[in-house]
Chain A
Amino acid sequence: MRIVIAEDDPLLREGLALLLRAESLDVVATTENPDSFLEAVDTHAPDVAIVDVRMPPTHTDEGIKAAVEARHRRPDLAVLVLSAYVEQAFATDLLAGGAVRLGYLLKERVGRVEQFLDALHRVAGGGTAIDPEVVAQLLTRTRPDTALERLTARERDVLALMAEGLGNTAIAERLFVTEGAVHKHIRSIFAKLDLAPTDRADRRVTAVLRYLENTQRRP
């Protein structure tokens, strides 16, 4: 797996590279601003890009813009966006073009190396990785009168993990249940929320996230 890192903080950039190289992953370039990142994407043709949201010059959403632009140049590039804090608006911008090969995680998730590597592999393999925090924000901000109310507690857990981008096997592992049970929960959720059932994880993520977004309380 060929990886390009875009992170303006030198310590974090080197730390990330160190961690990934120790896992025998191929970090082909580390860059510190959006321009050199896009250049590296052009020259090194990486499989995955790990991008910080806040980068020079204004330290606002340059990373999101650079990620969107990189995807525009190379549609099969997997992008994992790291952020100091999660903002649903960023997630919405990022997911506007679909959730395939896309990740959006809080920076500190990197420290839980196994889960981070899992998310990285999932994104590189065509899946999605959405930070639990984003999903939690979406879940707490839903209108009280939606069909979500009719879900059982366990079904809500499954829904949250689906929204994060986990597949059935991973969900079963996290919740310590069998895959069959997960499958049953998912069918029940889709029926209650009136969504077309699908087993493909990426479509499922998009459907669930879109559903959650549509049920947000209007400010």
Chain B
Amino acid sequence: MPANQPETAAPARTGRRGVRTRVRDLVDALEHLVGGFGTALLAFAALLWLTVVALGCLAGLGRLLAPSAPRVVRSIADRERARLSRWGPEIIGPAAPPPTHLRAALGDPDGRREVRWLFVHGTLGLLLSITGVALLVYTVQDITFVLWWRWLPTDEPNTPTVVSWTVQDDSGALVVALIGVALGVLFVVFGPGMVRLQAWPGRRLLAPSGEVDLSLRVAQLSATRAAALDAHATELRRIERSLHDGTQNRLVAVTVLLGASRRALARDPSSADEMLERAQQAAEQALAELRTVVRGILPPVLADRGLAGALAGLAADSGVECEVDVDVPGRCAASVEATTYFVVAEALTNIAKHSRAHHATVTVRRRGQDLSLRIQDDGIGGADEHEGSGITGIRRRVEAHDGRLALTSPPGGPTTLQVELPCGL
């Protein structure tokens, strides 16, 4: 997944910055070694269990014990996949559950790779973790030895770890401290490498083999594509509905009133004028609704001036003083921008109509995969989604894009409308 690529540290511009990245790398290394220690211990335990199962099979208990083995291996492998995915490229596990039958498990290529990983990680990986963690513990112990060696019970030989002689005085303890520093340097130099070495079998053996990887990608792409098409269909349905229930109804009303006017003309011409007046009003309403529908599909101003420009235009036309703050790198999908525009337009109309606010702020930010939109006013609050305000329309529109909407409006204000819209990769 491109989004999950490990961030390569930017080249250090200043010395301090370099030290800071160094320290961060070391803390990361320590964290990964400890985390790796956990899965390595589990892998070691699983190896013991596999041995028990193998012996059990020889003793004729295979039917009883064998089904558990693939499940145990898979659950530990999944744990390692999740751990590695947290700080590197995501590793997707096999989609199929592990086979429960022993023969099928032996024939399963994914399962065989998992067992190979288990052997390496449960032995070599465990050793690396123990070495790394021990190195750090000894570093701390030896460096601080000079501070506390005096209080050690005297009946035992005062020998810190890694040191083969007995410390008698402060100068001896200082030598121990120097050894500690040397151990620390060793950790600084080799720690990150050890972490990579320990993760390597997992990255190689737990990632799906090439062919499988591709089919997983295809499955994932199909799913996201289906979701996109679904959002598209919902959007089309919304347009269809506003055309049928709005514009078309107006036009039908026009024809009905025109038909009635013609009948009235034949009967009593004076009454026809009122009907013609109504017919004209209905036709004007139809035009207004048509404009709204068209603007709702894709506001032309978005293409001309981009999201920031379009929202600034909305703010300028708004009935309340409005501050717009858009900080979005690049452009989002046209439908996402259109929805954002619609939400802001509707929200500002609401504010002008109901809130009695003097000031409103619109903030648009990109947060990871989402476009985050926040509209706040200093009005009287107490906005209720169920009281026929425009919020229902906004919600429908946002949900068509699989987005989220939160409205907080305590009596007395302020009212905040928070909308998150996924903009895809």
- On A, residues with C-beta under 8 Å from B are 8-9, 11-12, 15-16, 18-19, 22-23, 54, 59, 84-85, 107-108, 110-113, 116
Contact = CB atoms under 8 A, between A and B. Distances in A.
19 contacts: A11-B249, A11-B250, A11-B253, A11-B282, A12-B252, A15-B253, A15-B260, A15-B278, A15-B282, A18-B275, A19-B256, A19-B259, A23-B263, A59-B245, A84-B244, A107-B248, A111-B259, A112-B259, A113-B263
Contacts of B245: 8-9, 54, 59, 84
Interface in B235-279: 241, 244-245, 248-260, 262-264, 267, 271, 275, 278
Nearest to A7: B249
B253 A9 contact: yes
Contacts of A15: 253, 256-257, 260, 278, 282
A112 B251 CA distance: 14
B131 interface: no
Contacts of A85: 244
B172 to A, nearest CB: 86
Contacts of B244: 54, 84-85
B389 interface: no
A111 B263 contact: no
B335 to A, nearest CB: 22
A12 B256 contact: yes
Interface centre among B256, B259, B263, B275 (most CB of A within 10 A): B256
B123 interface: no
Contacts, number: 67
B285 interface: yes
Given A22-B264, A54-B244, A84-B244, A111 B258 contact: yes
Nearest to B250: A11
Which secondary structure dominates chain B's binding surface? helix
Given A18-B278, A54-B245, A108-B251, 16 more contacts: A11-B250, A15-B260, A19-B263, A22-B260, A22-B263, A84-B249, A84-B252, A107-B248, A108-B255, A110-B252, A111-B254, A111-B255, A111-B258, A111-B259, A112-B259, A113-B259
Contacts of A23: 263
Contacts of B263: 19, 22-23, 113
Closest 6 CB pairs of A and B: A111-B255, A111-B259, A113-B259, A19-B260, A9-B249, A107-B252
B259 A110 contact: yes
B241 A111 contact: no
Interface of B: 241, 244-245, 248-260, 262-264, 267, 271, 275, 278, 282, 285
A123 B244 CA distance: 26
B264 A111 contact: no
Given A59-B241, A85-B244, A108 B252 contact: yes
Nearest to B267: A22
Interface centre among A19, A111, A116 (most CB of B within 10 A): A111
Interface centre among A8, A54, A110 (most CB of B within 10 A): A110
Contacts of A116: 259
B28 to A, nearest CB: 53
A16 B248 CA distance: 15
Contacts of B250: 11
A66 B250 CA distance: 23
Given A54-B244, A84-B244, A12 B259 contact: no
B254 to A, nearest CB: 8
A147 to B, nearest CB: 37
Contacts of B271: 22
A19 B282 CA distance: 15
A116 B262 CA distance: 14
A111 B249 contact: no
Contacts of A110: 252, 255-256, 259
Contacts of B282: 11, 15
Contacts of B256: 12, 15-16, 19, 110-111
A19 B279 CA distance: 12
Nearest to A23: B263
A169 B260 CA distance: 26
Nearest to A110: B256
Nearest to A60: B241
Contacts of A9: 245, 249, 253
A18 B255 contact: no
Nearest to A116: B259
Contacts of B258: 111
B252 A111 contact: yes
